Structure 1
Amino acid sequence: MILNWNNTFAVGNNNIDEQHKELFYRLNKLLEAMKEGKGKGEVITTLDFLEEYVVKHFTDEEEIQRKNNYPKLNIQHKQHEEFKNELKELRRTFESTGVSSLFVINTQQKMVKWCKDHIMSSDKELGNFLMKNTK
């Protein structure tokens, strides 16, 4: 299960859409590194970048919501915090147990499902709001 970007994921805001594309790319890179049994260093480097990128993306997205008085900012923020916590847990598990087939499958299912669900529901709703109310 890989995250393939297509226009069904577009929310209608170029900045958010471009960041989502990059997020898909980075998640795929992480999953690929784990599946191929790449060295721990490469997986950690990819995780480091992904964690930093997620913080940047969520900060940017929440700033757009603040500027436009988006009524569901608190819900989005909570969901973003949950995803950041999932990444931290992923790192803790990886650093303590390494990579197993089950670990890769669980990571893939959790991360891919979260991204797809969040974009297709919460972020699409945000995109519709922004199209109607952009300042």
Structure 2
Amino acid sequence: MILNWDNSLSVGDDNIDNQHKELFYRLNKLLEAMKEGKGKSEVINTLDFLEVYVIKHFNYEEEIQKKNKYPKFNVQHKQHGEFKNELKELRRVFETTGISSLFVINTQQKMVKWCKDHIMNSDMELGEYLTKKLKKAF
């Protein structure tokens, strides 16, 4: 399943949107590698990317939420923490068992689920909130 970015997924903040686009690109790269039977080599690149990405992205996103007094900040913060824990667990599994086809599939499924559950729901709500707040300011 290829993840397609379009403007309907925009939260209205260029930095967040560009970071989400990069995430989609990386996950699609993993999905393509899996189709070609090269998922094992790409999954570690994806995991390495995600471990850096979540720190930068979540910190920025939460900074925007605090600045704008987003009422669902605590929900988002909790979700971000859960995702970080999932990444830690994936890294632990990789370091103890190595790369298997099951590990690659599990990683891919978790990342796609994150995109669907968080970006396409929670972050879209954030975008709607920011848009309404911006309209009120003018």
Specify every segment of 5 or more residues in structure 2 that has no aligned partner in the other structure, as ranges. Answer: none
What is the Cα deviation at residue 30 of structure 1? 4.8
Q: Is 1:103 matched with 2:107? A: no
C-alpha contact 1:2 1:112 (8 A) present in aligned 2: no
What is the Cα deviation at residue 51 of structure 1? 0.7
Specify every segment of 5 or more residues in structure 1 that has no aligned partner in the other structure, as ranges. Answer: none
CA distance in 2, matches of 1:47, 1:104: 10
Q: Which residue of 1 aligns with 2:112?
A: 112
Structure 1 runs of 4+ aligned residues shifted over 6 Å read: none
What is the Cα deviation at residue 64 of structure 1? 0.4
CA distance in 2, matches of 1:43, 1:103: 9
Stretch deviating more after TM superposition (1-10 or 108-117) = 1-10
The normalised TM-score by structure 2 is 0.82
Q: 1:34-86 deviations in whole A, cap 9, x for unaligned? A: 75132xxx754542332111110000000000110001101000001111111
Count of residue correspondences: 132
Counterpart AA for 2:91:
R
User: What is the CA RMSD across the aligned residues, in angstroms?
Assistant: 2.1
Counterpart AA for 2:69:
N
User: What does residue range 80-95 of structure 1 map to in structure 2 within 5 Å?
Assistant: 80-95=80-95
CA distance in 1, matches of 2:24, 2:121: 17
Same amino acid, percent of matched pairs? 76
C-alpha contact 1:30 1:46 (8 A) present in aligned 2: yes
Q: Which residue of 1 aligns with 2:56?
A: 56
